[in-house]
Amino acid sequence: MNRAFAAVAFGFILCGAAPLDALDRFAGTWQSQGTFVDTAYSSAGSASGTTTCAWSGDHMFMICQQVATLNGKRDDDVAIYSYDDSSNAYRFYNVHATQVTSSVITVNGNTVVYPFTFVDKGKSVTIRTLNIWDNPKFYTWRTVYSTDGGTTWTLMANGTSRRVS
């Protein structure tokens, strides 16, 4: 099967499903790798990790445990995905031992976008990670930031993730 057909077929499968079912794409165990570059908000280095995701017993939350190595340091977290019917929004929660972050993410066809905004020295900074699925078992990711409201984006990191089970 060629890649273009597989991507289109994958998109049609997701379009016909209930919104919560679009999170099925995360189920399983994923091996990831990537490279960070020096920017105002990132340091150059490598990243690798294993993420294992499964539905909660009531099929309301996709729960993912991640064991990552960033520049030689272990960085574990838990991610929780959900869909809020009342506001038609996908919600993402990332739990580290020292902090919890959350955002409304965009799930659109073969792309998932995670935006985070904060203020640095009086300037609004938006960081977003884009996961773009080539097929149900492989996606590329990249993290970028903007300090001008999204007119220009600077690459912070990029890599790939492959489902291994």
Residue 8 pLDDT: 36
Q: Which two tokens stand for residue 72?
A: 């030689």
Helix intervals (H) in the chain: 3-15
Helix H or strand E segment including 27: none
Residue 11 pLDDT: 43
Enumerate residues 6+ apart whose C-beta is below 8 A from 68: 32, 47, 48, 49, 50, 74, 75, 76, 77
Residue 118 has pLDDT above 90, yes or no: yes
| pLDDT, tens digit, 9 for 90 and up, residues 16-25 | 568 999 999 9
- Percentage, residues of the chain above pLDDT 70: 90
Residue 18 pLDDT: 85
Residue 17 pLDDT: 65
Domains of the chain: 3-163 (2.40.128.20)
| pLDDT, tens digit, 9 for 90 and up, residues 94-112 | 999 999 999 999 999 999 9
Residue 76 pLDDT: 95
| pLDDT, tens digit, 9 for 90 and up, residues 24-77 | 999 999 999 999 999 999 999 999 999 999 999 999 999 999 999 998 999 999
What is the b/e burial string over 111-148, where b = at least 16 CB atoms within 10 angstroms of the residue's CB?
ebbbbbeeeeeeeebbbbbbbebeebeebebbbbbbbe
SS3 at position 108: strand
Which of the four pLDDT bands, split at 50, 70 and 90, describes residue 13?
very low
Residue 65 pLDDT: 98
